[in-house]
């Protein structure tokens, strides 16, 4: 990943009309292309599900041949896992499936996405993973696909500020709008999760892209709303307290799910199994469990619906399913299937919601509004902390179910769940995954950006320097010709030893530099971030801080306090400008 802060593309050109035209046309184009790609992705997965006997509708039609379905159930995910493992380990530089965390990292830190090849391989691997029924989600890969397509804008020379980040947000919004048939959720997701600000400069094009995705999905392909639910309103006021309770409990399940997912990733690293074979192991586990619980296979659209029907599940079935789905999803993702966590979270959540209702209705006999609203509340309450986007989640309920009463109810569960999960785990699985890679977004964009900017190439090369053996007199002579009051002391190999300060040594001209230099002075390494530098400079007195190569100990340059502060201000101002940009 290379820095792109210094690229000429950040230089603006042309007036507001030019910028608006470029952004809108870009949004339209990205919207159409991403939307078509998203539909193609969904269709490809559906076709694979049918052909490989993963979808129930295909399975039931070959029911007469007794051995076909059980064989397919175990063999398809296992062999599919092998294909995914080989694809990722042989063809991708990243050696893993890519998803929303990579997009968030790239946009927040203004880096480029991982290479196009890794992106394409990851998308193909995700299609295979989903096609063979692995317990992973389809929205993460689609978000990445949208970002991947949109990031092509990098190769243009349009000279509009923040263009790549806005383009990526457009791609993500269009993917979500198409996938869920939910343009408002697409718009909000791109801002809440990817951009993390609401500037009008980004808002307008992202809306256009989201809307375009919706038009393509609805008008051209007539795709129906994904999850229509009949619900005529909450019957009793006290049920809102129950929704809050459900939300709080769902937060616990969500945290357990996220921790287990991270844990499985670590476990996979510790096994002796080569990475190419890990997904096959997870696939085999999915297949074996699916012999008894076919609901765990794939995205589970049928199971989602059953969870809203009273009596479709016994309560013990729900307990088993919630546990199995959590375990298998964590296993599939940890062991290297390419795919997201969103769809599995929806499924775990809706089953948990149904379980909550079954217990509530069966054991307490409290009058209530029926299973559907509790199932939906559970679904959204569990999903929201996983993706770290309460507002998006609330809007997804609205657009998925097209039901206002359900949305009002789910809202309560969502916020309570989010609050608790944020406190005990973190903002989202994505953010925690990023955090483990050293990108900490928990304290906001500013800190993450400052932590991503390193001193490295910023170090000055033009500074006074002396060998350890030189006399103070020689050094003073050198300093007098410069504007500096300090010289960096190194040995013959250029390894940094200390700082010689004019005011300390002015009265001992005959001494060797090594004997009178200051050691223990603040030093930076090439990889020291601006954030760390700011903290280290507290109480610093002096001209400049030496920058040392951590491996060899050699002095590579110096930075002044002013330079650090300027860089800090540049980054912060740049972020504020981005957040407040009108067009």
Partner 1 sequence: MRPLRLILILAVFCALARAGLAAEQITVVSWGGAYEAAQRRAIFAPFTAQTGIKVNIKAYSGGVEPLRQRAAAEGWDVIDMTEDDAISACGEGALSPLALDDILVPPRRGSLVGDFERGAFQKCSVAQNIYATVFAYSQTAFPGIKPNRVEDFFDLKRFPGMRALQRSPDVILEWALLAEGVPVAQVYDLLSTERGLKVAFGKLEEIRSAIVWWTDPAEPPALLAKGEVAMASGFNGRFFAASNSERAPLAIVWDSQQIGYEVWAIPSGSKNRENAEAFIGFATQPDQLARLAEHIPYAPTRHSALSRVGLHWRTQVPMRYHLPNTPRRNERVLYRDSQWYASTRALRQRRFEDWLAKTQD
Instruction: Report the Cα 97 to chain-centroid distance in Å.
Output: 12
Task: Enter the tokens of residue 56.
Answer: 């129930």
- Residue in 102, 164, 192, 295 binding partner 1, rule: CB under 8 A: 295
131 lies in the binding site for partner 1 (CB under 8 A): no
The binding track of 436-465 with respect to partner 1, each residue x by CB under 8 A or -, is: ------------------------------
Stretch in the footprint of partner 1 (CB under 8 A) among 53-61, 207-215, 349-357, 502-510: 53-61
* Cross-strand bridge partners of residue 425: none
Distances (CA, A) of 568 to 454, 573, 578: 11, 8, 15
Strand segments (E) across 338-390: none
We find the least distance from the C-beta atom of residue 129 to partner 1, in angstroms, to be 21
State the number of binding residues for partner 1 (CB under 8 A): 25
- Our CB check for partner 1 shows the closer of 64 and 510 to be 64
Ordered DSSP codes for 43-92 = HHHHHHHHHTT-SHHHHGGGTTSTTHHHHHHHHHHHHHHHHHHHIIIII-
Task: Enter the tokens of residue 350.
Answer: 């809706």
65 lies in the binding site for partner 1 (CB under 8 A): no
- Residue in 197, 305, 521, 554 binding partner 1, rule: CB under 8 A: 305
- Residue in 25, 40, 60, 241 binding partner 1, rule: CB under 8 A: 60
Q: Please, what's the b/e burial string for 197-212 (b: 16 or more CB within 10 A of its CB; e: otherwise)?
A: bebebbbbbbbbbbbb
294 lies in the binding site for partner 1 (CB under 8 A): yes
- Residue in 11, 16, 17, 64 binding partner 1, rule: CB under 8 A: 64
224 lies in the binding site for partner 1 (CB under 8 A): yes
* H or E, element range at 544: strand 544-548
Q: What is the CA radius of gyration of the chain?
A: 28
- Our CB check for partner 1 shows the closer of 56 and 247 to be 56
230 lies in the binding site for partner 1 (CB under 8 A): yes
Stretch in the footprint of partner 1 (CB under 8 A) among 226-234, 460-468, 518-526, 546-554: 226-234
Q: What contacts 263, CB < 8 A, 6 or more positions away?
A: 330, 334
- Residue in 39, 42, 48, 56 binding partner 1, rule: CB under 8 A: 56
Determine the 3-state secondary structure of 468 from DSSP.
coil
**By CB neighbour count within 10 A (0-12 exposed, 13-18 middle, 19+ buried), where does 279 fall?**
buried
The answer to whether 451 and 529 are in contact (CB under 8 A) is: yes
The answer to whether 372 and 231 are in contact (CB under 8 A) is: yes
221 lies in the binding site for partner 1 (CB under 8 A): no
- Our CB check for partner 1 shows the closer of 172 and 347 to be 347
We find the least distance from the C-beta atom of residue 312 to partner 1, in angstroms, to be 5
- 576 CB neighbour count, 10 Å cutoff: 13
Q: What is the dihedral of CA 548, 554, 560, 565, to 10 degrees?
A: -20
- Our CB check for partner 1 shows the closer of 75 and 229 to be 229
We find the least distance from the C-beta atom of residue 64 to partner 1, in angstroms, to be 6
557 lies in the binding site for partner 1 (CB under 8 A): no
We find the least distance from the C-beta atom of residue 53 to partner 1, in angstroms, to be 11
Question: Which residue is listed with tokens 């230089």?
Answer: 11
The binding track of 352-381 with respect to partner 1, each residue x by CB under 8 A or -, is: --------------------x---------
291 lies in the binding site for partner 1 (CB under 8 A): no
Stretch in the footprint of partner 1 (CB under 8 A) among 165-173, 306-314, 336-344, 527-535: 306-314
306 lies in the binding site for partner 1 (CB under 8 A): yes
Residues that bind partner 1 (CB under 8 A): 55-57, 59-64, 224, 228-230, 294-295, 301-302, 305-306, 308-309, 311-313, 372
């Amino acid at each position: 990943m290379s820095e792109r802060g210094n690229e000429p593309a950040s230089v603006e050109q042309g007036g507001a009309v030019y910028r608006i035209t470029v952004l809108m046309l870009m949004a339209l184009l990205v919207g159409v292309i991403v939307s078509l790609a998203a539909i193609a992705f969904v269709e490809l997965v559906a076709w694979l599900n049918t052909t490989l006997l993963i979808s129930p509708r295909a399975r039931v039609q070959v029911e007469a041949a007794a051995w076909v379905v059980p064989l397919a159930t175990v063999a398809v995910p296992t062999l599919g896992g092998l294909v995914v493992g080989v694809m990722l380990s042989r063809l991708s530089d990243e050696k893993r499936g890519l998803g929303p965390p990579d997009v968030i990292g790239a946009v927040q830190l203004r880096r480029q996405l991982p290479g196009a090849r890794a992106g394409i391989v990851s998308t193909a691997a995700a299609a295979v993973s989903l096609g063979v029924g692995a317990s992973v989600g389809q929205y993460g890969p689609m978000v990445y696909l949208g970002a991947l397509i949109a990031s092509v804008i990098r190769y243009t020379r349009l000279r509009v500020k923040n263009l790549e980040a806005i383009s990526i947000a457009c791609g993500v919004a269009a993917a979500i709008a198409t996938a869920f048939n939910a343009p408002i959720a697409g718009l909000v997701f791109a801002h809440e999760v990817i951009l993390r600000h609401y500037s009008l400069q980004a808002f307008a094009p992202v809306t256009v892209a989201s809307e375009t995705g919706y038009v393509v999905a609805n008008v051209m392909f007539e795709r129906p709303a994904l999850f229509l639910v009949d619900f005529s309103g909450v019957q009793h006021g006290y049920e809102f307290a129950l929704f809050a309770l459900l939300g709080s409990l769902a937060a616990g399940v969500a945290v357990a799910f996220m921790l287990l997912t991270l844990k499985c990733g670590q476990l996979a690293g510790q096994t002796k199994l080569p990475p190419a074979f890990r997904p096959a192991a997870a696939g085999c586990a999915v297949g074996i469990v699916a012999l008894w619980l076919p609901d765990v296979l794939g995205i589970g659209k049928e199971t989602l619906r059953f969870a809203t029907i009273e009596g479709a599940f016994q309560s013990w079935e729900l307990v088993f399913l919630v546990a199995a789905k959590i375990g298998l999803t964590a296993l599939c993702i940890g062991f290297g299937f390419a795919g997201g966590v969103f769809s599995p979270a929806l499924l775990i959540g809706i089953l948990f919601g149904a379980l909550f209702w079954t217990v509530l209705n069966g054991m307490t006999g409290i009058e209530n509004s029926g299973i559907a609203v509790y199932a939906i509340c559970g679904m959204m309450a569990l999903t929201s902390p996983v993706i770290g986007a309460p507002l998006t989640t609330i809007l997804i309920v609205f657009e998925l179910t097209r039901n206002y009463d359900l949305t009002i109810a789910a809202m309560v569960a969502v916020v309570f769940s989010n609050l608790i999960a944020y406190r005990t785990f973190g903002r989202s699985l994505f953010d925690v995954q990023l955090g483990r890679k050293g990108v900490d977004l928990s304290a906001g964009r500013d800190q993450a950006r400052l932590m991503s900017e390193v001193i490295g190439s910023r170090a000055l090369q033009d500074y006074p320097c002396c060998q350890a053996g030189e006399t103070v007199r020689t050094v003073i002579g050198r300093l007098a010709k410069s504007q500096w009051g300090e010289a960096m002391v190194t040995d013959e190999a250029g390894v940094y030893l200390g700082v010689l300060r004019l005011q300390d040594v002015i009265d001992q001209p005959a001494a060797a530099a090594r004997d009178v230099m200051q050691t223990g002075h603040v030093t930076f390494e090439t990889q020291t971030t601006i954030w760390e530098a700011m903290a280290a400079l507290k109480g610093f007195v002096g001209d400049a801080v030496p920058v040392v190569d951590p491996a060899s100990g050699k002095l590579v340059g110096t930075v002044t306090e002013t330079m650090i502060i300027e860089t800090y201000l540049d980054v912060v101002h740049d972020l504020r400008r981005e957040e407040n940009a009108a067009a």
